[in-house]
Structure 1
Amino acid sequence: MLGSCSSSRRVSGYVPFTRDLKARLDRDNIDLKQVQFYIDQKLILNRNLGDVKVEVHSGVVKMENGKYINEVIIPALTPGVCDATDGDRLMISFEKGNNDLAFGPGSGYTINQYVLYGTNWRNGTTMVTYDANKYQARCGSCSDVAQATLVVRKSELDKWDKKSRTLRGRTVE
């Protein structure tokens, strides 16, 4: 059961973005802003707007239990870009605007993989800041949002592979 939705699940053609991969890109002077990132699980961000419908910039507004809910859905394999870095933390944006989500090395079984950062983790959800508002983030395709990881296309790795050879030199004949 854990294999079906764990963060180690492999999406064909994609590999997890890891600390090791980040270190390799840093070592090879590859700008993370030039890397195409993806999220391997569907993410759903919700915020309660209360009884009065207010203007929203991202997502849709729907009525749920007499309350207006602003919902932003990020489907699995949605492309994102790195807008900024802070040490190991990457600020990934899936649309233009002030809407980065923080990702970084996880803990436990995801310690090497880049996962969503948030606060107030509870029952597989966490609070994140998106579009200058607090949202509750949950995984739409697994039981715990901590299982959603950043991935890159495997074909991109081939582009980053450094081709090198060591020359033996020449001697006078």
Structure 2
Amino acid sequence: MRRILTVILCFASLTLLLSSCSSSRKLSGYVPFTRDLKQKLEKENIDLKQVQFYVDQKLILNRNLGDQKVVVSSGVVKLENGKYINEVIIPSLTPGLCDNVDGDRLMINFEKGNNDLAFGPGSGYSYNQYVLYGTEWKNGTALVTYDSNKYRARCGDCSDVASATLVIKKSVLDKMERKSRTLKGRTVGK
């Protein structure tokens, strides 16, 4: 009996370890976009509109359409408890472009149109990282403006949408940091 329990515990531990490794492996080629990185890019005169951004978490945006005429420009319309719900899903590592920079705030667009989501420096533990901005925070969700409408944003794979951060590919960062040259030096008389 003890041996069976030990085998079950080992199997459960191995499963947990492998699942945590697979999610970290998925993001291993990416680094968080931070205040420091933004300043570095600005110092090098790199236009943030030319940088490919990604969101590290699955985002789900919901909007209650109520009894309105149902016309959806993006996302999915669901009937939930007799009400129409417009749902927009942004999968993890969806590429996005910066449409506008307003101080520290970046307006990231994941599809064409008036569909920007605001990201900026967080607070507390995420002070340096660029996280999703919203209002009326409630139970790990926030109100965001998307496609000129108010949506309730939640995280698909985490408990709090405030942990959704912008990331860039590590190879892009490596290429930017490899700007170097080797000097041969100078000698007297030559």
Corresponding position of 2:6: none
* 2:98 corresponds to 1:82: yes
Contact 1:53 1:68 in 2 (8 A): no
Q: TM-score, normalised by structure 1?
A: 0.90
Deviation at 1:51, TM superposition (A): 2.6
Say which is worse superposed, 161-170 or 129-138, in terms of deviation.
161-170
Return the offset for 1:52: 3.8
Q: More helix by proportion, 1 or 2? A: 2
Answer whether contact 1:51 1:66 (CA < 8 A) is retained.
no
TM-score, reference length from structure 2:
0.83
For these two proteins, the number of residue pairs brought into alignment is: 168
Matches within 5 A, 1:16-165: 16-165=32-181
d(CA) in 2 for partners of 1:26 and 1:166?
25
Instruction: Tell me: higher relative CO, structure 1 or 2? Use CA pairs within 8 A at least 6 residues apart.
Output: 1
Question: 1:46 and 1:170 mapped to 2: Cα distance?
Answer: 69
Give the letter for the 2:46 counterpart. I
Q: What percent identity do the matched residue pairs reach?
A: 77
Q: 1:169 to 1:86 in 2, by over 3 A?
A: farther
Moved more, 55-64 or 163-172: 163-172
- Higher radius of gyration, 1 or 2: 2
- Residue ranges of structure 2 left out of the alignment (5+ in a row): 1-19
Supply the distance in 2 between the matched residues of 1:137 and 1:9 (Cα, whole angstroms): 26
Extract unaligned runs of 5+ from structure 1: none
1:156 is paired with a residue of what secondary structure?
Answer: helix
Superposition deviation, residue 9 in structure 1: 10
SS of 1:104's partner is: strand
* 3-state SS of 1:45 partner: strand
Deviations 1:24-71 (A, max 9, x none): 111111110110000000000000000344212111111001000000
What RMSD over aligned residues (CA atoms) do the two structures have, in Å?
2.0
Residues 75 and 155 from structure 1, CA distance in 2 versus in 1: closer, same or farther, beyond 3 angstroms?
same
Aligned partners of 1:45 and 1:135 also within 8 Å: yes
SS state of the match for residue 76, structure 1?
coil
